[in-house]
Amino acid sequence: MTRNSDDSDWNRASRTLSIEAPTCSPNDEAVDLRVTGAAPGSTVEFRATLVDDEGREWASRAAYTADGEGTVDCTDRAPERGTYGGGEPMGWLWSMRTDADARFASLGDRAEVPVTLQASTEAAATEREVTRVLYDPGVSSRRIDHEALVGDLFLPPDGGPHPVVLDLHGSAGPTSHRLAQTLATHGFAVCSLQYFGEPDPIPDGLARVPLSYFDEAAAWLHDQPDLRGGRLGVVGASRGAELALLLGARADWVGAVVSYAGSGVVWDTPDGTPAWTDDGAPIPHLSGEGPPERTDDGRVRTRPVLERGFENASEAARRAATIPVERIEGPVLLLSGGADPVWPARRLSAVAAERLARHDFPYAFDHRTYDGCGHLIGVPYVPFGGVEAGDVTARATAHAAADSWPAVLASLDRGLNEH
């Protein structure tokens, strides 16, 4: 066949639209994704979808202009339009949103989740499926076998013994094992410890939780033959992060602390009850002031309540409620969002960071704070499209998760494996 330079039929026939991406990849790692075989300068419509554990479809879309080679390299090319903008290598995943009434994708029951990728031009279309591995399928779990403790233990695939991390939920109670499963994939044995709710013997709600409960958990973990002895890492979110810092300052079994949207100051509960006790005595705390605010879309903002409580507290009250984080014997990582609607996590985390600096803290510490990020940071590369409200953006939330995750792993490794 003789080809003429203007023979568009030949050009269309010689091109095969294709999506290049790893068939299988860990979900906490970014991947390179390219579309090839388009006509140079043509518009390539790209779409990615997944179905979560509740059967809800989450989807992203973007329209790109193919380069002179007929390629769209999603790692550095900005889309013309779509659910994300700018050069966002993983925008096709984190910008996913759903038409269902859900803020977050339910991803945790399965070790792997398939993602359908579709690309089309005026002349051709293609589709393929890739698998994102949420956690190593070899990770095992078992309930804590102790009459006074409630929770689950997640173990890495190999035999160990492994360094141990205590995973502490926030005031909403246990919501997901994603963090524990992902940390176990990276070689940490993780105890997701429940400290209020059901069943007995733990308190029904976040009120007068005894710190001795966590000492009991640490002692039990030290007695397990398949776990490494020594100090434990403590990772907490929200009130669990406040608790993580408090335990680190008071317990000699803590060797590293990671605080997700936490507080360097102790607080009571919304009804004025002390949250934590030590030998029956309430830990000194601050109280919020006034009613929460409600946004135009009906969401509750409790942040102003805590801001007023912090501002109006006496200097003596703030001093008594401030956690002596300089007593922690290991690295400290503080993570916060500047647009957190739940409480002023940036400011409350800065209280801890400034105290560490003032006391010439001998271990590594860092406060990473992110504009446009709310109360959720967590493990990266999940659909964040549902978090957008007020000043919180999916892009900032995704960037916070991606930036902080390597630091989380490094901090725990430094505190538990290098001592």
Average pLDDT over residues 305-329: 97
Q: Are 162 and 79 part of one and the same domain?
A: no
Would residue 1 count as lying in a domain? no
Contact between 338 and 329 (Cβ < 8 Å): no
Average pLDDT over residues 88-112: 91
Separation of alpha carbons 188 and 287, rounded Å: 36
| End-to-end Cα distance, the chain | 71
Chain segment 232-252, per-residue pLDDT in tens: 999 999 999 999 999 999 999
Among residues 85, 84, 79, which one has the least CA distance to residue 66? 79
Overall pTM > 0.85: yes
Q: Are 123 and 185 part of one and the same domain?
A: no
Separation of alpha carbons 205 and 270, rounded Å: 11
Q: Are 314 and 366 part of one and the same domain?
A: yes
pLDDT value, residue 419: 58
Put the strands of the sheet holding 281-282 in their side by side order.
209-210, 276-278, 281-282
Q: What is the chain's mean pLDDT, rounded?
A: 93
Percent of the chain residues topping a pLDDT of 70: 95
CATH code, domain carrying 254: 3.40.50.1820
Q: Domain ends where: 82, 117, 133?
A: 133
Spell out the long-range contacts of 312-317 with Cβ–Cβ below 8 A and sequence spacing 24 or more.
Answer: 313/286, 317/284, 317/286
Flag whether pLDDT at 55 surpasses 70: yes
Among residues 168, 332, 183, 172, which one has the least CA distance to residue 236? 168
Chain segment 362-395, per-residue pLDDT in tens: 999 999 999 999 999 989 999 999 888 888 999 9
pLDDT value, residue 5: 39
Instruction: For residue 61, give its domain range.
Output: 13-133
Between 290 and 30, whose confidence is greater? 30
Q: Are 156 and 197 part of one and the same domain?
A: yes
Q: Which strand (E) or helix (H) includes residue 417?
A: helix 394-417
Q: Are 338 and 252 part of one and the same domain?
A: yes
Would residue 7 count as lying in a domain? no
Among residues 226, 307, 299, which one has the least CA distance to residue 265? 307
| Residue 176 confidence class, pLDDT cut points 50, 70, 90 | confident
Flag whether pLDDT at 273 surpasses 70: yes
Query: Does residue 230 sit in helix, strand or coil?
Result: coil
Q: Domain ends where: 78, 104, 133?
A: 133
Q: Domain ends where: 116, 133, 150?
A: 133
CATH code, domain carrying 63: 2.60.40.2240
Would residue 4 count as lying in a domain? no
Average pLDDT over residues 62-75: 96
Q: Are 180 and 223 part of one and the same domain?
A: yes
Q: Are 117 and 161 part of one and the same domain?
A: no
Separation of alpha carbons 163 and 229, rounded Å: 7
Q: Are 304 and 328 part of one and the same domain?
A: yes
Separation of alpha carbons 322 and 134, rounded Å: 37
Percent of the chain residues topping a pLDDT of 90: 84
| Residue 418 confidence class, pLDDT cut points 50, 70, 90 | confident
Would residue 334 count as lying in a domain? yes
Separation of alpha carbons 379 and 394, rounded Å: 14
Q: What is the DSSP letter of 274?
A: B
Average pLDDT over residues 296-313: 88
Would residue 337 count as lying in a domain? yes
Q: Are 97 and 240 part of one and the same domain?
A: no
DSSP characters over 140-206: EEEE---TT-EEEEEE-SS---B-EEEEE--TT----SHHHHHHHHTT-EEEEEE-SSSSTTS-SSS
Flag whether pLDDT at 12 surpasses 70: no
Among residues 104, 202, 97, which one has the least CA distance to residue 148? 202
* Number of structural domains found in the chain: 2
Flag whether pLDDT at 8 surpasses 50: no
Burial of 9 (0-12, 13-18, 19+ CB in 10 A): exposed
Among residues 269, 220, 216, which one has the least CA distance to residue 242? 269
Contact between 334 and 353 (Cβ < 8 Å): yes
